[in-house]
A and B are shown apart, each in its own frame.
Chain A
Amino acid sequence: MSLLIDLLQAALLLSGVVMFAAGTLGLLRFPDTYCRIHALTKADNLGLGLIIAGLMLSAGSVLLVFKLLLIWLLVMLASALSGHLVAWEGDAQGMDAASGDLPSSGNAAQDSAERER
């Protein structure tokens, strides 16, 4: 029984790591800012959820389980909100949905300056 729980924990923790790797890979491979936000928020939240589920198996006390759940909830809220904020500001600046380019009129100089920085 204990072996079974250990195996389950190992599976959960390692698949959590895989999800984090997918998030990072998405951050690097996806073509524009919006898509990168998608990769980060979704993959990392599932990754953290899996790791927390794995840690819960060896938590030993109900209070610790609640604490881990609280941390997950908070991280989820924080990352969904920050992803939303970055997307919101991108949209406000007129960042194109398909290519992720900022409009060329008006703040092209600012855009290229930012790209070079």
Chain B
Amino acid sequence: MGNVHQEIRQMESRHWHDKAVPALQRFLLALLVWWILSNDLIGSVWIGIPTALLVGWVSLKLAPPGRYRLRLLALPHFCLYFITVSVIAGLDILQRTLSPSLPLQPGMLDLQIDLPEGQPLWLFMITISLMPGTLSVNRQSDSSIRLHCLDTSNNPQDDAKALEHRIQTLYGLRTSNS
């Protein structure tokens, strides 16, 4: 019981900081996107800054910051991995569509994925759809994920597990020594 109270007090003391940092991050991100879209930040700053403020506020309301933060240092590695994998995925499709016999062995695969709700799981669902031979279909009630696989004989669960590990590393959910 006392533990819970202590935790609540800790959360309250971090309250201010926990709200300001994501708000500032989202404002800066919106401003960056505005800059990219408008080509000219200085000339349109009077529209850009209020818009970025509004966008930041709305995004905080619609998608409150989750508990899991991306490790920026791990991001380039993940991007490189993602690009490699999506190139392989495209070539895989190319090879399958061009071969006359159409080598497909489609089927569903239910897989237990150890990622928390929110951002990490969403990133997994989106990325797995762009990886070779897998497509995220559904989240089952028992916290497993249903994937559709183009070729079930190709060990698609290994790819999914590899991606799971990458995302765990990206969010600092596991020690990155392995």
Q: Direct contact between A and B in the complex (CB less than 8 angstroms)?
A: yes
A98–B87 CB distance below 8 A: no
**Which residues from B are CB-within-8-Å of A81?**
126
A59 at the interface (CB under 8 A from B): no
Q: Are A80 and B129 also in contact (CB < 8 A) when A37-B135, A87-B136 are?
A: yes
**Which residues from B are CB-within-8-Å of A25?**
97-98
Q: Is the interface of A mostly helix, strand, loop or mixed?
A: helix
Size of interface on B: residues with Cβ below 8 Å to A: 36
- CB within 8 Å of A: which B98-141 residues: 98, 102, 104, 106-108, 125-127, 129-130, 132-133, 135-138
B150–A35 CB distance below 8 A: yes
B37 at the interface (CB under 8 A from A): yes
Interface size on A, as a range, is 35 or more
B33 at the interface (CB under 8 A from A): yes
Q: Are A63 and B35 also in contact (CB < 8 A) when A34-B106, A46-B86 are?
A: yes
Seen from chain B, the residues whose Cβ lies within 8 Å of a Cβ on chain A are 33, 35-37, 39, 83, 86-87, 89-94, 96-98, 102, 104, 106-108, 125-127, 129-130, 132-133, 135-138, 146, 148, 150
